[in-house]
Amino acid sequence: MPSPSVYDHYSSTDTDSVDGVYRVVGISEEGVTLLRVGDADGQRVNTGEIITVRYDDLNGFDSAENPDGNRPLGDAVKPKAEMVYWTFRVFVQQLAAHPLMTLLAVAVLVVGSFGEEFLSLPSSAFSILIIGGSLGLAYIGSGRL
């Protein structure tokens, strides 16, 4: 068997360990540390199960495919969509928690965006107002106030 390297994947054929796909996460002089990342069918799982196998016992494992490559598209996209939803929700809640600061930042942003028709300032001043209002909203919405 070739020497394993970190991020190689193996499937268990030995009855001493749980059937599944394991990723090499550590190599030492004594053996190889494996993290179970797939079930017996090769589907991705998050178990946190770690085992250490001596080099001699690694013969009880076969080379395997990375289970991340066979995830359905919906399973890969869903967590990202949920993260966007929660990020936006918390951002809006933070803005609502500081209404005066939010109103001031929105006013600065609106003046920077539409103030050229009503105010006679250099065009760079309007750009600065837009940047300032945007940064103000980002700072307020970040929850750092």
Alpha helices in the chain (DSSP H): 73-97, 99-114, 123-141
- Domain positions in the chain are 9-70, 73-141
Q: Helix (H) and strand (E) counts for the chain?
A: 3, 5
Averaged pLDDT, groups of 10, the chain, 145 residues long: 82 78 92 91 86 86 81 76 95 97 97 92 94 97 90
pTM, full prediction: 0.53
Residue at token pair 């770690």: 50
Q: What pLDDT, on the 0 to 100 scale, is given for residue 85?
A: 96
pLDDT of residue 12: 82
**Phi, psi angles (nearest 5°) of residue 61:** -125, 145
Predicted local distance difference test score (pLDDT) of residue 46: 87
- Give the per-residue pLDDT at 70: 62
* Contact in structure between 50 and 33 (CB atoms under 8 Å): yes
Closest CA to 31 of 17, 19, 47, 42: 17
